[in-house]
Every structure is written in structure tokens, then in C-alpha cells.
Amino acid sequence: MNANSLSSHIREEPQSGVLYLVGTPIGNLNDISFRAIKLLTDVSLIACEDTRQTKKITTKYKIRNKLISFNKHNSRKRIPQIINYLKEGKSVALVTDAGLPSICDPGEDLVKIAKSNKFETICIPGPSAPLTALISSGFPASKFIFEGFLPNKKREREKILYDISKNEKTTIVFEAPHRLKKLLNELREYCGADREVIVCRELTKKFEEQIYDSLDNLKDFFKDREILGEITIVIKGIDKNNIVEINESDIKKELKELINAGLSLSAASKYLAKKKNLTKKTIYNLYL
């Protein structure tokens, strides 16, 4: 490892050949630091997820600088270009539409390649939707898991949902508004109706909303509502004091007997889930 330490706070910024990862507001444009404004003003250029979104910031703070798009659709082409800018001695600021770069966007790949080419990467801290939601939730925050958007592939998605249902740590996920009801139903199936969750919508914006309740009540709350805006969900971990020790072999045997008696797998799982105080999905998975 290179023994030279980074001391960006005592140097003039920006430095040539440095990639700056700049935190930007997640909704309220006032949530930006003086340091971030100065960096965005003085760097050679700004690489942004969507130039239209970044222009809202540059217009408000009268920042006149070159903007180039950098997102999942053009990252393979843009990364070599940005590395070349750094090789030329230019300073580059990387921003996302909201929050910190490299979280659920291709900034992660750019940072990795920049570091492999021996370029400095310096983060200018700023707002973060996952942390804002976590801190607002009141759930244990000393240890947590951030899953981002859950995968669409059935097997991968089910594995993560199962892991969430068994984890003692608080879990944070993103979801699109049109898929929220589906995800809440899935979480209810895996985690049980009583698991506590907070759904955060439009964080820091004018119509910010935080709905805290059990998964059972949240299902009813959102049933007939039109859901708009960006969604961050915080799921309380399982209470280790309430973890029920289960004898899998006994449950499998009982499940098999019920099915042989004529019940469907779904009906047998539902019956045993109520009897054993477990989720239906837990029983169902034991049969697979």
C-alpha cells in the first residue's frame, strides 16, 4: 500500500488529476455544502447521471461549468474518456441525481478503474437517502444492511427476502413507487405480518412522508393509494428474543402427512404456519 496519506483538507481544491465524488441534495436543494459548491465551480468538468437534474443545482448556485452525462447507459464509453481527462491533468467531479455517487449507479466502476490507474479519488460528503431513512426510523442503527433495489430474478429475489426475514440487523432497500405494494406483500409473506417497517417517500422534499407500522397495517394503508415519488424502506431486524427454535424434520413430517391427507401445499403451509407461529413461506420452503 502507498504510504503517502491524503490530506485534501489542507490542500487547495481541486487538484489536477483527481476524481472528486460529490454528494448532492436528495430533494431539498439547500442541503449542499459550501465545499461541494466550490468544487463543482472549480473542477475542469462535472460528470453527472442526468445533466437536466444537475442543472437544477448549477442554476441555483450560479455554477458555470462543463457537464457530461455519465450513467448506466453510457458508462462503458464514458469511463475511458474520464480516465483520459484525469491523465491530461484535469479534475473531474462525479455527481449522481441525488445523494452520493457509487450507490446503485456506475460510479462504483469508475472509482475502481481510477484507483487501478493510480488516480486519487476524494469524496465530498453529502446527503444519503439510506442513512436519512435509517436515522429517521428509530430502528437499531449501529449495524445495518443496505440492499439497494432487490433483483427481479425470482431465485435471487427470494434468497434476499429470506435473508431479510432471518436477519437481526436493520435492512434498507430502495423501491420504485409502482412496485411498492408488491414488495410490501412479499415482505409480509417472508417476515410475517407483525414486522415493523417504515416507508419513506420523497425524503427532504416538500411532500415528504414517513409511514411507520407493521407490514399488515401497511398493506391496508397503501391498498387504494396512488404512490408517487422516490421510496426508501427500512425494515426492523428480527428480535432474537422472539426467534422460535424449529425442528425442521418434525415440521417436514407433519407437512407431508397433511399433504397425503389431501391438503394442498399452500393450505398445509398456512395451517402449520398458524400452528407453529411461523410465516407461511418458512413452512413452504421446508418442503422444497
For 176-203, write each residue's pLDDT tens digit: 999 999 999 999 989 988 999 999 999 9
158 burial (CB, 10 Å; 0-12 / 13-18 / 19+) is middle
pLDDT tens-place string over residues 23-60 = 999 999 999 999 999 999 999 999 999 999 999 999 99
pLDDT of amino acid 243: 58
Residue 1 — pLDDT band, cuts 50, 70, 90?
Answer: very low
pLDDT tens-place string over residues 99-111 = 999 998 899 999 9
Separation between Cα atoms, residue 11 and residue 55, nearest integer Å: 28
Residue 220 has pLDDT above 50, yes or no: yes
**Mean pLDDT (whole number) for 239-267:** 80
Residue 62 has pLDDT above 70, yes or no: yes
Residue 222 has pLDDT above 70, yes or no: yes
Q: In percent, how much of the chain has pLDDT > 90?
A: 74
pLDDT tens-place string over residues 129-150 = 999 999 999 999 999 999 999 9
Residue 3 has pLDDT above 50, yes or no: no
**Mean pLDDT (whole number) for 109-115:** 97
Residue 288 has pLDDT above 80, yes or no: no
Helix, strand, coil abundance in the chain, percent, nearest 5: 45, 20, 40
Q: Which residue has better confidence, 4 or 152? A: 152
Residue 89 — pLDDT band, cuts 50, 70, 90?
Answer: very high
Model's pTM, two decimal places?
Answer: 0.81
Max Cα–Cα distance, the chain, nearest Å = 77
pLDDT of amino acid 245: 58
Residue 281 has pLDDT above 90, yes or no: no
Provide the residue count of the chain: 288
